[in-house]
């Protein structure tokens, strides 16, 4: 008897659900307990399928002919399902078990708490209602025309990958063999524990960057995507991974013997459909003139008629649609001399952010929908995960689950997916929310996406917030809410005991536009994103510059000409209260808890009368008594004009345990020519420590041009991609051009330099 492949049953289930969708049967929404149960079942299913796949490979020698015959029959039986996936709504429970490239598909239930689309058509109507007033998109607006068909040609819409996309995949496959073992054998004994790590906002939630170290090796990625692995002791280049010159490389993660690289690229996919060509596009000038003449005549003879004077022709066309995608490339680096790619996953959109937690990487992109080509052109308004459209019941609206009427206001999609360490070539879960995305904060169990929102009737902004729960690579449930004002950055948000605490600045005109005001507020929201406590009208005519939360206390800095550091008691989330206010000159743009009862502030010193910047300032605050915070020391670096670390906290080296912090900065100096306007910018890397007796102690101000890495002045890119790390008692300056090492026990003496080959 022939062996029945497990995939038959899954494909049969897909056919059943497909039939249900075709007859308008809506999928049942799972409530919280049931959702968790189904997620567990999905995990078991994935594990069982992996085991089954291994068993099938073992038995293939005995059953090869039977399996080939069975799979041929399966292909014949399910061919209609594959061909109609672009025409028929298929919920996530009806997704096929395997894709064209052989990747296994994990079926996951919709999350609870948020309203989801009932079908692609209903989603299209929601999006198109807002976009209908926009100009029609046509081939002249950027599409690359390939072939024109007569208007009575085939009526079905087809979405397919272009030859370019296929070529890219083929070249990648040729460069990295597909039979590489993805199992990692990370040995923690080889890793030095005395080394720096990427500066992150949330403990136990890792963030990507362009430089990483495990205490033995240094991993450096440049703007072209080339990744160098360097032995930290010998300062020798061990291996190099060359980047794709057609992609923009963002950042990477180091996880034991695994390296995950995030890149963004623009590709084209071929779309066939009806497009409207105006008469100027038709190429027939005489016909155009006649049409225009006829149109004018019609207007003259019947002025009350609404005759359109623009003649259009509808034609069938095949043209390339530009699509921006973001990919996660995973490499096995257990053999540091021979990195091997073990998987690639991708999703549509431009890169927003990412996080790692519990053996899973979570990727976030922004996708802009376009509905001007009609409901069948899904390629233009439905984001894809690994070349497959996200299931309609995994596309959510920023509204409660019971919402029946939602008005779209033009925001982009927030697209999210997860990839596990065990299966780097497969998306574990995916979803999208039509909510937009500006500011991200990710706790150990929730993803918060915030976006400023204005309406025509508003004179002041609000911040819309979407919360998405996650666990073990799966998205579980969600909620939405809003508060008055706008966030400064991600540090303006913090989760504690299931509640979200945040501070905002509200600025705008009054109702008659006679006065512009600015004020600040502190809000506490529960898991349903309902406000349960707040303090408003704080620090009039100032704005929030930085914030940090610890336990039951929140600290935030506002600024106009002086720097009030507020402390707030949040022990009762329904009754938050301000308990302290310290006024000093300047302001801190970044706050970092530095050992017990200490808070480090990095920002700018200013003139208290004029507000003009006088230099870069580091302040140390004693927060032993939150109601009586004291600035116990400060240091000001004069003439500093730029410090990228203040807008990119991952560029800050911060290690209270090592008693070391550092950052790159630039300052302008007169060139000595006598011309007041002729100045030159010099870049340094500052390293400092702090002691109770001496306060701030400068370790070194390293002149970058004397590092041996640059012949000329640094470019802006070279400055912004500079990172400082340490391993034991050696400090490393990692740049676009190479690495310099310094002996921290000998006054940061330059000991070695490794230059990259061009």
Q: How confident is the model at residue 44 (pLDDT cuts 50, 70, 90)?
A: low
Q: Is the pLDDT of residue 748 over 80?
A: yes
pLDDT at 297: 44
* Interior angle at CA 434, CA 486 and CA 448, nearest 5: 50
Q: What is the mean pLDDT of residues 531-540?
A: 96
Between 179 and 129, the more confident residue is: 129
pLDDT at 272: 72
pLDDT at 743: 98
Do you know the residue count of the chain?
A: 758
Between 509 and 474, the more confident residue is: 474
Q: Is the pLDDT of residue 71 over 70?
A: no
Q: Which helix (H) or strand (E) holds 74?
A: helix 32-77
Q: What is the mean pLDDT of residues 64-89?
A: 39
Question: Would you list the DSSP string of 156-211?
Answer: --EEEE-HHHHHHHHHHHHHS-TT--------GGGS-SSB-----SSTT-B--BSE
Q: What is the mean pLDDT of residues 638-654?
A: 95
Q: What is the mean pLDDT of residues 169-187?
A: 31
The residues that bridge with 138 in the sheet, in sequence order, are none
pTM of the complete model: 0.77
Residues 245, 227: Cα–Cα separation, whole Å: 13
Residues 51, 53: Cα–Cα separation, whole Å: 5
Question: Whose CA is closest to 473, among 345, 348, 383?
Answer: 345
* SS3 assignment, position 671: coil
Q: How confident is the model at residue 384 (pLDDT cuts 50, 70, 90)?
A: very high
Q: Is the pLDDT of residue 742 over 60?
A: yes
Q: Is the pLDDT of residue 151 over 50?
A: no
Q: What is the mean pLDDT of residues 463-484?
A: 97
Question: Whose CA is closest to 756, among 333, 242, 336, 339?
Answer: 242
Q: Is the pLDDT of residue 177 over 70?
A: no
Q: How confident is the model at residue 51 (pLDDT cuts 50, 70, 90)?
A: low
Between 673 and 584, the more confident residue is: 584
Answer positive or negative: Cα dihedral of 118, 119, 123, 125: negative
Question: Whose CA is closest to 81, among 95, 65, 69?
Answer: 95
Q: Is the pLDDT of residue 165 over 80?
A: no
Q: What is the mean pLDDT of residues 39-43?
A: 56
Spatial CB neighbours of 415, under 8 Å, sequence gap ≥ 6? 347, 348, 349, 364, 365, 366, 367, 383, 385, 390, 430, 431, 432
624-643 pLDDT, tens digit each: 999 999 999 999 999 998 99
Q: What is the mean pLDDT of residues 84-88?
A: 38
> Which range among 66-75, 224-233, 468-477, 625-634 shows the weakest confidence by mean pLDDT?
66-75
Q: Is the pLDDT of residue 140 over 90?
A: no
669-717 pLDDT, tens digit each: 655 555 544 456 789 999 999 999 999 999 999 999 888 898 777 888 8
Q: What is the mean pLDDT of residues 99-109?
A: 63
Q: What is the mean pLDDT of residues 39-67?
A: 51
* SS3 assignment, position 119: coil
Q: Is the pLDDT of residue 57 over 60?
A: no
Q: What is the mean pLDDT of residues 155-178?
A: 32
Residues 213, 453: Cα–Cα separation, whole Å: 40
598-634 pLDDT, tens digit each: 999 999 999 888 888 899 999 999 999 999 999 999 9
Q: How confident is the model at residue 580 (pLDDT cuts 50, 70, 90)?
A: very high
pLDDT at 41: 60
pLDDT at 415: 98
Q: How confident is the model at residue 55 (pLDDT cuts 50, 70, 90)?
A: low
Between 399 and 590, the more confident residue is: 590
Q: What is the mean pLDDT of residues 139-158?
A: 32
Are 426 and 103 in contact by the 8 Å Cβ rule? The answer is yes
Q: What is the mean pLDDT of residues 321-347?
A: 97
> Where do the H-state alpha helices sit in 78-119?
79-84
pLDDT at 508: 86
Q: Is the pLDDT of residue 152 over 60?
A: no
Residues 271, 115: Cα–Cα separation, whole Å: 30
Between 754 and 374, the more confident residue is: 754
Are 274 and 152 in contact by the 8 Å Cβ rule? The answer is no
Q: Is the pLDDT of residue 405 over 70?
A: yes
Q: Is the pLDDT of residue 42 over 70?
A: no
pLDDT at 734: 98
Residues 131, 411: Cα–Cα separation, whole Å: 11
C-alpha neighbours within 13 Å on the C-beta side of residue 20: 16
Are 506 and 520 in contact by the 8 Å Cβ rule? The answer is yes
Are 319 and 333 in contact by the 8 Å Cβ rule? The answer is no
* SS3 assignment, position 643: coil
pLDDT at 754: 97
Between 43 and 125, the more confident residue is: 125
Residues 393, 107: Cα–Cα separation, whole Å: 12
pLDDT at 319: 72
> Which range among 270-274, 318-322, 394-398, 720-724 shows the weakest confidence by mean pLDDT?
270-274
Are 195 and 232 in contact by the 8 Å Cβ rule? The answer is no
Q: How confident is the model at residue 40 (pLDDT cuts 50, 70, 90)?
A: low
E strand intervals along 586-704? 587-593, 598-606, 613-622, 630-638, 640-642, 653-655, 660-670, 679-691, 695-703
Q: Is the pLDDT of residue 19 over 50?
A: no
Are 103 and 39 in contact by the 8 Å Cβ rule? The answer is no
491-530 pLDDT, tens digit each: 999 999 999 999 999 998 887 788 889 999 999 999 999 9
Q: How confident is the model at residue 174 (pLDDT cuts 50, 70, 90)?
A: very low
pLDDT at 482: 95
Q: Is the pLDDT of residue 80 over 90?
A: no
Q: What is the mean pLDDT of residues 558-563?
A: 77
Between 543 and 164, the more confident residue is: 543
Residues 542, 560: Cα–Cα separation, whole Å: 5
E strand intervals along 65-157? 114-116, 144-149
- Indicate the average pLDDT of the chain: 79
> Which range among 157-171, 227-241, 473-487 shows the weakest confidence by mean pLDDT?
157-171
Q: What is the mean pLDDT of residues 561-582?
A: 93
Residue labelled with tokens 């927030």: 414
pLDDT at 285: 43
> Which range among 14-28, 232-246, 248-262 shows the weakest confidence by mean pLDDT?
14-28
Are 10 and 52 in contact by the 8 Å Cβ rule? The answer is no
> Which range among 182-191, 408-417, 598-607, 642-651 shows the weakest confidence by mean pLDDT?
182-191
Q: Is the pLDDT of residue 390 over 50?
A: yes
Q: What is the mean pLDDT of residues 585-609?
A: 94
Q: Is the pLDDT of residue 271 over 80?
A: no
Which tokens belong to 708?
């041996």
What percentage of the chain exceeds 70 in pLDDT?
A: 70
């Amino acid at each position: 008897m022939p062996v029945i492949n497990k995939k038959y049953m899954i494909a049969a289930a897909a056919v059943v659900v497909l039939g249900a969708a075709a007859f308008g049967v809506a999928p049942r929404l799972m409530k919280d307990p049931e959702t968790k149960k189904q997620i567990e079942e999905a995990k078991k299913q994935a594990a069982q399928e992996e085991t089954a796949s291994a068993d099938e490979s073992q038995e293939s020698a005995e059953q090869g002919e039977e399996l080939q015959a069975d799979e041929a029959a399966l292909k014949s039986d399910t061919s209609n399902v594959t061909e109609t996936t672009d025409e028929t709504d298929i919920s996530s429970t009806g997704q096929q078990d395997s894709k064209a490239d052989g990747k296994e598909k994990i079926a996951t239930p919709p999350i609870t708490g948020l309203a989801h689309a009932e079908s692609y058509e209903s989603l299209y109507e929601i999006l198109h209602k807002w976009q209908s007033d926009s100009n029609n998109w046509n081939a002249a607006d950027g599409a690359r025309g390939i072939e024109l068909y007569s208007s009575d040609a085939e009526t079905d819409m087809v979405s397919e990958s272009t030859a370019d996309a296929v070529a890219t995949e083929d070249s990648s496959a040729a460069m990295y063999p597909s039979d590489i073992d993805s199992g990692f054998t990370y040995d923690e004994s080889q890793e030095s524990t005395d080394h720096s790590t990427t500066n992150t906002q949330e403990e136990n939630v890792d963030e990507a960057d362009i430089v990483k170290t495990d205490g033995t090796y240094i991993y450096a990625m440049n703007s072209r995507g080339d990744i160098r692995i360097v032995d930290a002791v010998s300062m020798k280049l061990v291996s190099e991974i060359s980047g794709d010159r057609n992609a923009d490389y963002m950042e990477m993660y180091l996880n034991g013997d695994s390296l995950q690289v995030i890149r963004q690229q623009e590709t084209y996919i071929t779309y066939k459909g009806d497009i409207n060509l105006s008469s100027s596009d038709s190429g027939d000038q005489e016909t155009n003139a006649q049409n225009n003449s006829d149109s004018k005549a019609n207007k003259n003879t019947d002025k009350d008629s609404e005759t359109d004077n623009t003649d259009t022709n509808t034609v069938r066309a095949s043209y390339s649609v530009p699509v921006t995608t973001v990919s996660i490339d995973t490499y096995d680096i257990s053999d540091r001399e021979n990195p091997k790619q073990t998987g690639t996953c991708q999703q549509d959109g431009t890169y927003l952010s990412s996080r790692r937690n519990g053996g899973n990487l979570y990727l976030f992109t922004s996708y802009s929908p376009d509905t001007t080509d009609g409901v069948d052109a899904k390629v233009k308004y439905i984001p894809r995960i690994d070349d497959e459209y996200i299931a309609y019941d995994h596309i959510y609206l920023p509204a409660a689950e019971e919402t029946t009427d939602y008005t779209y206001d033009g925001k982009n999609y927030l697209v999210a997916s997860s990839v596990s360490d065990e299966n780097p070539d497969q998306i574990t879960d995916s979803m999208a929310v039509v909510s937009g995305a500006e500011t991200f904060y990710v706790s150990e169990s929730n993803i918060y996406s915030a976006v400023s929102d204005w309406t025509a009737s508003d004179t002041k902004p609000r911040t819309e917030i979407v919360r998405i729960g996650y666990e073990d690579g799966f998205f579980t449930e969600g909620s939405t809410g809003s508060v008055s004002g706008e966030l400064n950055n991600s540090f303006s948000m913090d989760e504690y005991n299931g509640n979200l605490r945040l501070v905002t600045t509200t600025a705008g005109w009054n109702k008659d536009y006679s006065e512009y005001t600015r004020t600040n507020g502190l809000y506490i929201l529960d898991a349903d994103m309902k406000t349960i406590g707040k303090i408003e009208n704080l620090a009039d005519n100032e704005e929030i510059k930085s914030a940090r939360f610890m336990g039951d206390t929140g600290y935030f800095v506002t600024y106009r000409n002086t720097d009030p550091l507020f402390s707030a008691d949040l022990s009762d989330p329904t009754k938050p209260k301000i308990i302290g206010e310290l006024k000093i000159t300047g302001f801190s743009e970044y706050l970092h808890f530095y050992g017990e009862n200490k808070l480090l502030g990095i920002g700018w010193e200013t003139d208290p009368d004029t507000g003009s910047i006088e230099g870069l300032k580091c302040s140390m605050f004693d927060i032993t008594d939150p109601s009586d915070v004291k600035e116990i020391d400060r240091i000001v670096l004069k003439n500093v004009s730029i410090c990228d670390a203040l807008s990119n906290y991952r560029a800050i080296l911060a290690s209270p345990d090592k008693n070391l912090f550092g950052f790159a900065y630039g300052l302008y100096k007169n060139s000595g020519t006598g011309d007041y306007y002729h100045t030159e910018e010099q870049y340094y890397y500052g390293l400092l420590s702090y002691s109770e007796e001496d306060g701030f102690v400068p370790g070194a101000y390293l002149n970058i041009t004397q590092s041996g890495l640059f012949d000329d002045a640094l470019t802006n890119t070279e400055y912004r991609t500079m990172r400082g790390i340490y391993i034991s008692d050696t400090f490393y300056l990692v740049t676009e051009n190479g690495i310099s090492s310094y002996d921290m026990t000998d006054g940061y003496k330059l000991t070695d330099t490794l230059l990259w080959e061009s």
